[in-house]
Chain A
Amino acid sequence: MEYFLQQLINGITLGSIYGLIAIGYTMVYGIIGMINFAHGDVFMVGGFVSLIAIVALGVTGGSGFFPIILALVLVVFIAMIIASAYNWTIERVAYRPLRGSFRLAPLISAIGMSIVLQEFVRIAQDGRPKPLQPIVTGGYEIMSREAAQGEFIVRLSNMQIFIIITTLILMAVFTAVITRTSLGRAQRSCEQDMKMASLLGIDINRTISITFIMGAALAAVAGLMFFLYYGVTDFYVGFLAGIKAFTAAVLGGIGSIPGAMIGGLIIGLIEVFWSAYFSIEYKDVAAFAMLAAVLIFLPQGILGKPEIEKV
């Protein structure tokens, strides 16, 4: 029971991160119908920028409560801005000129972009993993139990609290933007029918650009949290995390934002429980197999609309 509870906490934490990345996939797919293959790498860039900002600011685990919070807020904003600049440029350079090209063109371009980002970071920052001493330390003991091997303690770390609370806040803000503002209305209308939206005076290019920017901002926060949670990052983290987040987006129903969050949580929980109860070596296989299974058996996802193939 205690072990289960601990894994549940870990799974929700990881799932929140996947959910934030998944929103970027799901929004872009919803609007322009392509997999932004480079999104995972934008997430990686967000993590790297956070790392650099943290080192530049010189915060460490011993800096005290308020300096750390202040620094983290600052780092979040820097990472958001820079990752947004990346995703905006990617959309302008690699995707926008390809609208109306043949079916596979944007996807191939996106794969190229993904490799460009990975290689750029690898060359600029060398390929070694970058470790960092934990900044957000401490936590709470929720429960403990005497076990044969000693005491088993269920722990909720401050880092996990930080991740879950940040995710909740971002989700709330984000949902408000999508449902309440004119910008969100423009996005939803583009998603439903882009041609009609443009006839009704919505600047489609601007809406798509903003969608990429929003997705990147969320991915950047996810990148920061992922990197703080694991304490290490390298140029390749975006690949796996990207595939898992994409799985989450599909599982939740592509195009649906609450779906992305639910999908993220499910994928995070599956990964953590699989590692905890079966085998840690095959945890990625579990995620990949999940992706294949979802696409084959439930391609419309949990909250998505079934797709009608039009002739």
Chain B
Amino acid sequence: MAAAPKSNDVKTEARPLEAAAIAKDVLFTAILAFIILGPILGLKTFAISGSLALEQRWGLVAVFAAIAAAGRLAYHLLVWQKPQARPSKAASASFLPAISFGKYLVPVVLILAIALPFLPGVDRRVVDLAILILTYIMLGWGLNIVVGLAGLLDLGYVAFYAVGAYAYALLATIYLPAWFGDGIVPWAFFITLPIAGILAALWGVILGFPVLRLRGDYLAIVTLAFGEIVRVILINWSDFTGGPAGIGGIPRPSFFGLPFTDGEGGFAAFFGLDFKPIHRIIFLYYVILVLALLTNFVTMRLRRLPVGRAWEALREDEIACRSLGINTTSTKLTAFAIGAMFAGFAGSFFATRQGFVSPESFVFLESFIILAVVVLGGLGSQIGVVIAAIVIIGAFEVFRELNFLKAVMPAGFDPVQYRMLAVGAALVLIMRWKPRGFVTRREPSVVLKEKKAISTDLVAEGHG
């Protein structure tokens, strides 16, 4: 243990290290990696005739230990040994042109998003993936209100998503037909959407009210507990929610009353088109695009209202807020409720797209992915969420198809298996090296006379 270098001192100033010390440290890294990886990775347990046996994979451990040691060595030689000026000045300067770049980026992405289903070479799979990504973008934007703007770490966000999904599933399959007759079913989605949003917001208030006095990390773990409570109730309250089996047969959305079916009265027949199943997918795509853009629009507008500014002020300093007369409870509650409302919308959409909901879809891992989208993109950054969602959700689907990966890696290698591992590691690394996420620049919400860029080093990290 004594051999470990004090990495903190070394990073800021170049300090020549003895070759022997480096060798010792690299050896220590290799041994540590071996100890850590040895048992879990090197000895795989498998069931054999009622008991367990071990499969030895020491080669694998040695490879990873060697990689760790080589990484450490490279770090020593390339990073710590180099006399370096802190590069932050140069980095922040290079972000300044990003303003004009960002000005064109947003419309281009928007036009691309609108035209996507009609671009050549775009088939059903691509549109499906785009729908999935947009769902996460919407959830990310919704959570961004809570985490990014108000600074409340919500680990149970998926509970509100579940409320929205179950609200639509139950209303559309049981209650609306029972109350208004079957004729209502094609309209169910559009009727339920606001209801689902309101219900989710209500749940946000109910769950938020008792816990919002808590400090940041306590709040996080309580919201996590609430998220789990909702899931356990969904599993066990079988009479109402269908239990672990969930609810199936949820009506698909219709084009404002025109079902996407072949034949008379369908969408295709009404507009004189040939019937294609992809019409429904494209319609779904536009629904989620509109919902996501709505989320973004509302967020951007709210940020300019007093309540939005109060959120951001609250994130920076709660005590200062209180002494300036901001009602912190109601400010936090609005953030919680509005964030929850968008999750409710997204949940409704999820239910209608899948046609099936079950508690399996609303586990903690889902909350974690949404949080990762927000954190990796950059807390409080709207465009960052888009980039992070595309990277996290989209990239791995693409990896699956890459042929050279299949050629290099052993048989049965499925990159999707490693997705959460990579996302978890990315969360740690981004907190360490780039706590403001992929997109470090923040557009100021309110400006006096002229817009000034807030570059990274003008604000303390994570406080912008």
Residue B93 at the chain A interface, CB threshold 8 Å: no
- The answer to whether A103 touches B233, judged by C-beta atoms less than 8 angstroms apart, is no
A272-299 interface code vs B (CB 8 A; 1 in, 0 out): 0000000101101100110110011001
- Partner pick for B428 among A81, A86, A109, A282, CB 8 A cutoff: A109
- The answer to whether A243 touches B432, judged by C-beta atoms less than 8 angstroms apart, is no
- Partner pick for B216 among A98, A103, A126, CB 8 A cutoff: A103
- Residue with the greatest number of chain A CB neighbours at <10 A, chosen from B47, B52, B233: B52
Residue A105 at the chain B interface, CB threshold 8 Å: yes
Q: Closest Cβ of chain B: how far from A94's Cβ, in Å? A: 5
- The answer to whether B420 touches A115, judged by C-beta atoms less than 8 angstroms apart, is yes
- The answer to whether B220 touches A282, judged by C-beta atoms less than 8 angstroms apart, is no
A6-37 interface code vs B (CB 8 A; 1 in, 0 out): 00000000000000000000000000001100
- The answer to whether B371 touches A108, judged by C-beta atoms less than 8 angstroms apart, is yes
- The answer to whether B229 touches A285, judged by C-beta atoms less than 8 angstroms apart, is yes
- The answer to whether B228 touches A288, judged by C-beta atoms less than 8 angstroms apart, is yes
- Interface range, B side: 35 or more
- Partner pick for B44 among A88, A94, A124, CB 8 A cutoff: A124
Q: Closest Cβ of chain B: how far from A33's Cβ, in Å? A: 8
B residues within 8 A CB of A136?
A: none
- The answer to whether A119 touches B424, judged by C-beta atoms less than 8 angstroms apart, is yes
- The answer to whether B40 touches A52, judged by C-beta atoms less than 8 angstroms apart, is yes
B32-46 interface code vs A (CB 8 A; 1 in, 0 out): 100110111101111
Residue B105 at the chain A interface, CB threshold 8 Å: no
- Residue with the greatest number of chain A CB neighbours at <10 A, chosen from B47, B52, B226, B431: B431
- Partner pick for A123 among B7, B224, B421, CB 8 A cutoff: B421
Complexed CA–CA distance, A93 and B433 (Å): 11
- The answer to whether B216 touches A292, judged by C-beta atoms less than 8 angstroms apart, is no
B199-235 interface code vs A (CB 8 A; 1 in, 0 out): 0000000000011011011101110111011001101
Complexed CA–CA distance, A18 and B368 (Å): 25
Residue B54 at the chain A interface, CB threshold 8 Å: yes
Residue A85 at the chain B interface, CB threshold 8 Å: yes
Q: Closest Cβ of chain A: how far from B152's Cβ, in Å? A: 9
A247-287 interface code vs B (CB 8 A; 1 in, 0 out): 00010000000000000000000000000000101101100
- The answer to whether B211 touches A311, judged by C-beta atoms less than 8 angstroms apart, is no
Which of B182-190, B301-309, B455-463 sits within the interface? B455-463
Q: Closest Cβ of chain B: how far from A241's Cβ, in Å? A: 13
- The answer to whether B47 touches A284, judged by C-beta atoms less than 8 angstroms apart, is no
Residue A51 at the chain B interface, CB threshold 8 Å: yes
- The answer to whether B427 touches A124, judged by C-beta atoms less than 8 angstroms apart, is no
Residue B23 at the chain A interface, CB threshold 8 Å: no
- Partner pick for B427 among A49, A85, A112, CB 8 A cutoff: A112
Residue A226 at the chain B interface, CB threshold 8 Å: no
- The answer to whether B6 touches A205, judged by C-beta atoms less than 8 angstroms apart, is yes
- The answer to whether A93 touches B428, judged by C-beta atoms less than 8 angstroms apart, is yes
B residues within 8 A CB of A52?
A: 39-40, 43, 45, 54
Question: Contacts A133-B51, A299-B218 known; A105 to B319 CB distance under 8 Å?
Answer: no
Q: Closest Cβ of chain B: how far from A253's Cβ, in Å? A: 14
- The answer to whether A121 touches B222, judged by C-beta atoms less than 8 angstroms apart, is no
Question: Contacts A89-B32, A243-B224 known; A97 to B432 CB distance under 8 Å?
Answer: yes
Question: Contacts A115-B368, A115-B423 known; A124 to B40 CB distance under 8 Å?
Answer: yes
Complexed CA–CA distance, A239 and B224 (Å): 11
A residues within 8 A CB of B428?
A: 93-94, 109, 112-113, 116
Pairs across A and B, CB under 8 Å, 19 listed: A45-B40, A101-B461, A103-B151, A103-B462, A105-B431, A105-B462, A107-B220, A108-B431, A111-B155, A115-B424, A116-B428, A118-B420, A119-B420, A119-B421, A123-B418, A124-B44, A282-B236, A288-B225, A292-B211
**Knowing that A82-B38, A107-B220 are A-B contacts, what are 19 other residue pairs whose CB atoms are under 8 Å apart, sorted by A's residue number?**
A55-B53, A81-B35, A86-B36, A93-B428, A98-B431, A102-B460, A104-B379, A105-B435, A106-B431, A108-B153, A112-B423, A115-B421, A115-B427, A126-B44, A243-B221, A282-B232, A288-B226, A295-B211, A296-B213
